[in-house]
Chains A and B, each alone.
Chain A
Amino acid sequence: NAGVTQTPKFQVLKTGQSMTLQCAQDMNHEYMSWYRQDPGMGLRLIHYSVGAGITDQGEVPNGYNVSRSTTEDFPLRLLSAAPSQTSVYFCASSRRGTRGSEKLFFGSGTQLSVL
């Protein structure tokens, strides 16, 4: 199993450019989420989804859009990149249910630099 796949692994953008970070999982997990990791800040939740067609904001949603048209994919869009969005981005997934939903599977991360 591939698990959670994130692409690209590295990306450099100029201020104002747009891009989409891709996340796909092959475990048929209902829950998916995006986190950003900044030095000295830990990981913070950007957006999450509890199923296809359902998304909601996390702690730091400004500047990011998401959609969930399929169970497998959960892309994160930066419409107009800013230097403050320089970070490492992680996608995670887990299955629904009282037992098991607490076990998150993480992708390998995307390191994004905005110049």
Chain B
Amino acid sequence: AQTVTQSQPEMSVQEAETVTLSCTYDTSENNYYLFWYKQPPSRQMILVIRQEAYKQQNATENRFSVNFQKAAKSFSLKISDSQLGDTAMYFCAFMKATGANSKLTFGKGITLSVRP
């Protein structure tokens, strides 16, 4: 079974600064996907960024980038130039790539507050 750990329950960052959210995972799989989802107060689940385990290059999406360390089973999210709209809960998630059946394993989430 896979586990995803987000050890920080809350973080706060000043607007325009950079913040890094941590995530570690445990799996015996070699092929898998890792995700960061954002959940604003509207409750909608929004995919922020996705990483494929077989790709060594870290994924980036505009102000969002990841530091994927496969050997260390670490997958952190860096948000640059933080904006007030980034205030939300963020979930790290894992999915096996084999037996592709779209099952996600989520971490407990972290609440990020961006201060004006």
Interface residues, chain A, CB within 8 Å of chain B? 31, 33, 35, 40-45, 48, 50, 58, 88, 90, 92, 94, 96-98, 101-104, 106, 108-109, 111
With most chain B CB atoms within 10 A of its CB, the pick from A42, A48, A101, A109 is: A42
Chain A residues closer than 8 Å to B95, beta-carbon distance = 102
Evaluate contact between A90 and B91: CB separation under 8 angstroms. Answer: no
Tell me if B108 and A101 are in contact (CB < 8 A).
no
A101 to B101, CA, bound (A): 7
**Given pairs A40-B9, A45-B104, 18 additional interface contacts (CB within 8 A):** A33-B104, A35-B106, A40-B108, A42-B91, A42-B108, A42-B109, A43-B93, A43-B104, A44-B106, A48-B102, A58-B103, A92-B102, A97-B100, A101-B101, A102-B50, A104-B47, A106-B45, A109-B43
Q: What does DSSP make chain A's interface, helix, strand, loop or mixed? A: strand
CB-based nearest B residue for A43: B106
Q: Which residue from chain B places its CB closest to the CB of A29 in the assembled complex?
A: B102
Closest to A44 in B: B106
Any A CB within 8 A of the CB of B44: yes
Q: Which residues of A contact B6 (CB under 8 A)?
A: 42
Query: Residue B33 at the A interface, CB < 8 A?
Result: yes
Closest Cβ of chain A to B7, distance in Å, is 13
Q: Check B101 against A42 for contact (C-beta < 8 Å).
A: no
Residues of B within 8 A of A43 (CB): 91, 93, 104, 106
Q: Which of B4-63 contact A (CB under 8 A)?
A: 4, 6, 9, 33, 35, 42-45, 47, 50
